[in-house]
Chain A
Amino acid sequence: MTVEFGALGLILLFPLIGVLFNLFLGARLGRRWVNIVGPGVIFIAFALGIWAFAKILSMPAGSELHYKLWDWIEGGSFHVEFGLRIDALSAVMVLIVTGIGAFIHLYSDGYMAHDADYARFFTYMNLFALAMLILVLADNLLMMFVGWEGVGLCSYLLIAFWYSNPEFAYNGRKAFIANRVGDAGFILGMLTIIAVLGHGGVWSLDFGTIHRHLGLFTTTTATVACLLLFLGATGKSAQIPLYVWLPDAMVGPTPVSALIHAATMVTAGVYMVARLNFLYMLAPSAMMVVATIGAVTALFAGTIAIVQSDIKKVLAYSTISQLGYMFLGVGSGAFAAGIFHVMTHAFFKGLLFLCAGSVIHGLGGEQDMTRMGGLRKVMPITFWTMLIATIAISAIPPFSGFFSKDMILAGAYGSGHFGLWIIGVITAGITGFYMFRLLFLTFFGESRVDPERLHHAHESPPVMTIPLIVLAIAAAIGGWVGLPDGFLWGDLFSRFLAPTVGTFTPTVATPGVLLSVIALAISIVGIIIAWVLYIWMPGLPYLIAWRAKALYTLLLQKYYIDQFYNLIVTRPLFFVSNWILHRGVDRFAIDGTVNGTGIALETSGAIARRSETGNIQHYAFIYLLGVIGIVAYYLFLVMR
Chain B
Amino acid sequence: MKPLSLASINFAWLPILPLIIVAVAAMVVLLAGVGVEDEESEGLGWLTLASLGVAFIFALGLVGGTGVAFAGEIAVDGFSAFFQLLILVAAAFVVLMSLDYAGENRLSGAEYYSLILFSTLGMMLMATAGDLIVIFLGLETMSIAVYALAGMRRRDPRSNEAAIKYFLLGAFSTGFLLYGIALIYGATGTVKLAPIHAALSASMAGNPLLLLGLGMLLIGFGFKVAAVPFHTWTPDVYEGAPTPVTAFMATGVKIGAFAGFVRVFMVNLGPISTHWHAALWVLAAITMTAGNLIALVQTNIKRMLAYSAIAHAGYLLVGMTAAAAYAGSAIMYYLIGYAFTNLGAFAVVIAVERRGAAAGDSISDYRGLARRSPALAAAMAIFLLSLTGVPPLAGFVGKFYIFSAALRSGYVGLVVIAVLNSVTSAYYYFSVIVAIYMQEGGLGHPTLSTRPALAAAIGLAVLATILIGIYPEPYVSAASSAFNSALGAGFMHMTAMLH
Contacts of B219 in A (CB 8 A): 626-627, 630
1/0 contact string of B201-228 vs chain A (CB within 8 Å): 0000010100110110011001100001
Q: Are B229 and A623 in contact (CB under 8 A)?
A: yes
Given A602-B297, A605-B295, A634-B212, A616:B168 Cβ within 8 A: yes
Closest to B228 in A: A626
- Is B439 part of the binding interface, using a Cβ–Cβ cutoff of 8 Å? no
Partner of B176, one of A612, A618, A622, A627: A627
Closest to B214 in A: A634
A225 to B491, CA, bound (A): 80
Q: Are B229 and A609 in contact (CB under 8 A)?
A: no
Q: Which of B21-29, B94-102, B231-239, B474-482 contacts A (4 or more CB under 8 A)?
A: B231-239
Residues 264-313 (chain B) with a chain A CB within 8 angstroms? 275, 278-279, 290, 293-298
Q: Are B233 and A634 in contact (CB under 8 A)?
A: no
- Is B11 part of the binding interface, using a Cβ–Cβ cutoff of 8 Å? no
- Is A569 part of the binding interface, using a Cβ–Cβ cutoff of 8 Å? no
A629 to B427, CA, bound (A): 31
Q: Are A601 and B165 in contact (CB under 8 A)?
A: no
Given A614-B236, A626-B219, A633-B279, A605:B208 Cβ within 8 A: no
- Is A488 part of the binding interface, using a Cβ–Cβ cutoff of 8 Å? no
- Is B172 part of the binding interface, using a Cβ–Cβ cutoff of 8 Å? yes
1/0 contact string of A584-624 vs chain B (CB within 8 Å): 00000000000000100110111011011010101110110
Closest to B168 in A: A616
Q: Are A608 and B229 in contact (CB under 8 A)?
A: no
- Is A638 part of the binding interface, using a Cβ–Cβ cutoff of 8 Å? yes
Closest Cβ–Cβ distance, residue A629 to chain B (whole Å): 8
Contacts of B427 in A (CB 8 A): 598, 601
Q: Are B296 and A631 in contact (CB under 8 A)?
A: no
Closest Cβ–Cβ distance, residue A77 to chain B (whole Å): 41
- Is B70 part of the binding interface, using a Cβ–Cβ cutoff of 8 Å? no
Contacts of A608 in B (CB 8 A): 290, 293-294
Contacts of B165 in A (CB 8 A): 616, 619
- Is A69 part of the binding interface, using a Cβ–Cβ cutoff of 8 Å? no
A602 to B172, CA, bound (A): 32
Q: Are A611 and B293 in contact (CB under 8 A)?
A: no
Contacts of B275 in A (CB 8 A): 637
Given A631-B212, A634-B215, A638-B211, A619:B233 Cβ within 8 A: yes
Q: Are A612 and B215 in contact (CB under 8 A)?
A: no
- Is B46 part of the binding interface, using a Cβ–Cβ cutoff of 8 Å? no
Partner of B293, one of A605, A616, A618, A620: A605
Q: Are A605 and B297 in contact (CB under 8 A)?
A: yes
Partner of A634, one of B176, B211, B296: B211
A447 to B294, CA, bound (A): 88
Q: Are B235 and A612 in contact (CB under 8 A)?
A: yes
Contacts of A619 in B (CB 8 A): 165, 169, 232-233
A180 to B295, CA, bound (A): 54
Closest Cβ–Cβ distance, residue B397 to chain A (whole Å): 27
- Is A625 part of the binding interface, using a Cβ–Cβ cutoff of 8 Å? yes
- Taking each of B215, B232, B275, which has the highest tally of chain A beta carbons within 10 Å of its own beta carbon? B232
Q: Are A605 and B211 in contact (CB under 8 A)?
A: no
A606 to B223, CA, bound (A): 23
Interface SS majority for chain A: helix
- Is B230 part of the binding interface, using a Cβ–Cβ cutoff of 8 Å? yes
A602 to B294, CA, bound (A): 8
Contacts of A616 in B (CB 8 A): 164-165, 168-169
- Is B422 part of the binding interface, using a Cβ–Cβ cutoff of 8 Å? no
- Is B173 part of the binding interface, using a Cβ–Cβ cutoff of 8 Å? yes
Q: Are A623 and B296 in contact (CB under 8 A)?
A: no
Q: Are B230 and A606 in contact (CB under 8 A)?
A: no
Chain A interface size, under 10 / 10 to 19 / 20 to 34 / 35 or more: 20 to 34
Given A616-B169, A630-B218, A605:B236 Cβ within 8 A: no
Contacts of B298 in A (CB 8 A): 609
Residues 543-591 (chain A) with a chain B CB within 8 angstroms? none
Closest Cβ–Cβ distance, residue A591 to chain B (whole Å): 16
Given A601-B424, A605-B293, A606-B297, A622:B211 Cβ within 8 A: no
Contacts of B212 in A (CB 8 A): 631, 634
Q: Are B294 and A612 in contact (CB under 8 A)?
A: yes
Partner of A602, one of B232, B233, B296: B296
- Taking each of A612, A630, A631, which has the highest tally of chain B beta carbons within 10 Å of its own beta carbon? A630
A53 to B353, CA, bound (A): 89
Contacts of B164 in A (CB 8 A): 616
Q: Are A622 and B229 in contact (CB under 8 A)?
A: yes
Contacts of A637 in B (CB 8 A): 211, 275
Contacts of A612 in B (CB 8 A): 232, 235-236, 294
Closest to B274 in A: A637
Closest Cβ–Cβ distance, residue A394 to chain B (whole Å): 75
Closest to A631 in B: B215
Contacts of A601 in B (CB 8 A): 293, 296, 424, 427
Closest to B290 in A: A608
Contacts of B214 in A (CB 8 A): 634
Contacts of A630 in B (CB 8 A): 215, 218-219, 279
Contacts of B229 in A (CB 8 A): 622-623, 625-626, 629
A634 to B183, CA, bound (A): 13
Closest to B428 in A: A605
A634 to B212, CA, bound (A): 6
Contacts of B206 in A (CB 8 A): 638
A630 to B275, CA, bound (A): 12
Residues 307-352 (chain A) with a chain B CB within 8 angstroms? none
A616 to B235, CA, bound (A): 12
1/0 contact string of A88-103 vs chain B (CB within 8 Å): 0000000000000000
Given A604-B293, A605-B297, A623-B173, A611:B232 Cβ within 8 A: yes
Closest to B209 in A: A638
A612 to B291, CA, bound (A): 12
Contacts of A618 in B (CB 8 A): 232
Q: Are B230 and A626 in contact (CB under 8 A)?
A: yes
Closest Cβ–Cβ distance, residue B13 to chain A (whole Å): 41
Closest Cβ–Cβ distance, residue A600 to chain B (whole Å): 10
Closest Cβ–Cβ distance, residue B138 to chain A (whole Å): 22
A623 to B176, CA, bound (A): 11
Q: Are B297 and A609 in contact (CB under 8 A)?
A: yes
Closest Cβ–Cβ distance, residue A628 to chain B (whole Å): 10
Closest Cβ–Cβ distance, residue A467 to chain B (whole Å): 66
Contacts of A625 in B (CB 8 A): 229
Contacts of A606 in B (CB 8 A): 297
Closest to B176 in A: A627
A350 to B295, CA, bound (A): 77
Contacts of A604 in B (CB 8 A): 293
Contacts of B222 in A (CB 8 A): 626
Closest Cβ–Cβ distance, residue B57 to chain A (whole Å): 41
Closest to B173 in A: A623
Contacts of B208 in A (CB 8 A): 634, 638
Partner of A633, one of B228, B230, B278, B294: B278
Q: Are B169 and A620 in contact (CB under 8 A)?
A: yes
Given A601-B296, A608-B294, A616-B165, A623:B232 Cβ within 8 A: yes
Closest to A633 in B: B279
Q: Are B215 and A605 in contact (CB under 8 A)?
A: no
Interchain residue pairs with CB less than 8 A apart (19): A605-B293, A605-B295, A609-B294, A612-B294, A616-B165, A618-B232, A620-B168, A623-B172, A623-B173, A623-B232, A626-B222, A626-B229, A627-B219, A630-B279, A631-B215, A633-B215, A633-B278, A637-B211, A638-B211
Please give me the 8 A-B residue pairs with the lowest Cβ-Cβ distance, nearest first.
A619-B232, A626-B229, A605-B293, A605-B296, A605-B297, A634-B211, A634-B215, A638-B208
Given contacts A623-B223, A630-B218, 10 further A-B contacts (CB under 8 A): A601-B424, A605-B293, A608-B290, A608-B293, A608-B294, A609-B298, A616-B164, A626-B228, A627-B176, A633-B278
